[in-house]
Structure 1
């Protein structure tokens, strides 16, 4: 994999996304890296036209290139350097799927090892409020209390 090309593609994605979002508002904060990571994770779990469209949008010829880039990002850039006097960065990713749907073990492996995302199967259909609370508690814990209610009650 050519890391230089992967970084150029990620930068191009970030600039396209910024340009598009700024056309709606000039008072905006977002993380292009987080969105790129999310879409890369979706590409890892998709197939067919959806897979091809995600790769095209992200500027990557193959999902393995995205995985290699995000593996480097999570292991180097997002590493907690506070023990050595560096910054403490926190990155949390989660995949929440209804328990009636099975996630492939290969996807769980890529989600965890490459994207550092936890994969959870929960009973959304039969216990939606409990699932909402579980997700909110997880997000609150992962953000050290900065985000308390990602999913508000109805």
Structure 2
């Protein structure tokens, strides 16, 4: 994975998304969103998909493969979660995770990518009763 190329692709994705949102929302309203969060979410979905869906997501994210997206996410996460300054600050926190209906089977390989590359949590819940695996409300 070429980190520079991945950053350029992510920036192009963010700029294209911003352009679309500004055209859709118009100039009469305020808009706050996180292109990185959207990129990570779509990357997670791409990692769990296949066929035409995955191909379309990879094209939209301007990436060659889900492996490239996962490698980029792992690199990004290692930088975001590290505190490289000698004085001990500042540090950025990034929360990310997903909820999946517990009736849907999760492939162990997908769960591993989510947890190791994206440092995210997958929680299986019952969307019909709004309870988590342990019975607590979600």
Q: Which runs of 5+ in 1 are unaligned?
A: 136-154
Correspondences of 1:81-92 after superposition (within 5 Å): 81=83, 84-92=87-95
Tell whether 2:22 aligns with 1:19: no
RMSD: 1.8
**Structure 1 position 122 matched with structure 2 position 121:** no
TM-score, structure 2 as length reference: 0.86
Name the SS of the counterpart of 2:90 in structure 1. coil
* TM-score scaled by length of structure 1: 0.78
Q: Where do 4+ consecutive residues of structure 1 move more than 3 Å?
A: none
User: What residue is the counterpart of 1:29 in the other structure?
Assistant: 32
Between structures 1 and 2, the one with greater helix share: 1
User: Partners in 2 of 1:49 and 1:115 — Cα distance?
Assistant: 23
Alignment correspondent of 2:9: 9
Pick one of 64, 75, 83 that aligns with 1:61. Answer: 64
Query: What is residue 72 of structure 1 aligned with on the other side?
Result: 75
Number of equivalences = 131
Check conservation: 1:80, 1:90, Cα contact below 8 A.
no
